[in-house]
Amino acid sequence: MVVIVGGIIEKENKYLLVQEAKKKCYKKWNIPAGHLEQNETIYEGVKREIKEETGCDVEITGICHVSEKIERDETIIFIICSTKLINEEFNYNENEILDVKWFTYDEIMNMKDELRTPEQIISIINDFENSKILNLPVLTLTNR
């Protein structure tokens, strides 16, 4: 099983997306997200992935999307959190991310061919727009 964590970052009615550098999704725009690491909480993973892919610091405000898919005989779980931008400083590894940019809702709705997973990204943003967000704490069980 693979767990992918990420976050919606909204500011002044715009959403922050990253342009992927990976070969399988080269130049596609996506929500900042990546694999949850061993012994990492979901919230730690969301903050780390956003920091790595954008350079920005965020505060987690809720969970706005949970989904799953089976790909190549492996279950993939997606957990996307809503966030509050704390520090906007674009800094990222250009071998992983080509660009980081703010987009309006309408711009995102009109760039389906440029999105990595259009249906999923649009669904996540629509849920965020419609305040379909689970309040924190949702997942707090840790033995650290």
Indicate the pLDDT class of residue 133, thresholds 50, 70 and 90: confident
Residue 140 pLDDT exceeds 90: no
pLDDT of residue 144: 53
- How far apart CA 53 and CA 2 sit, in angstroms, is 19
Domain ranges of the chain: 2-134
Give the CATH number of domain 2-134; options: 3.30.1360.120, 3.90.1150.10, 3.90.79.10, 3.10.310.30. 3.90.79.10
**pLDDT per residue as tens digits for the range 14-57:** 999 999 999 999 999 999 999 999 999 999 999 999 999 999 99
pLDDT of residue 114: 98
Cis ω on the peptide bond leading into residue 118 (within 30° of 0)? no
pLDDT of residue 11: 97
**pLDDT per residue as tens digits for the range 51-78:** 999 999 999 999 999 999 999 999 999 9
121 closest CA partner among 15, 21, 42: 15
Summary mean pLDDT of the chain: 93
Pinpoint the alpha helices (H) of the chain: 42-54, 105-109, 118-129
3-class secondary structure, 87: strand
* pTM exceeding the 0.75 threshold for the entire prediction: yes
32 closest CA partner among 104, 73, 110, 91: 91
Residue 103 pLDDT exceeds 90: yes
Indicate the pLDDT class of residue 138, thresholds 50, 70 and 90: low
CB burial of 72-109 (b: ≥16 within 10 Å; e: otherwise) equals: eeeeeebbbbbbebeeeeeebeeeebbebeebebeebe
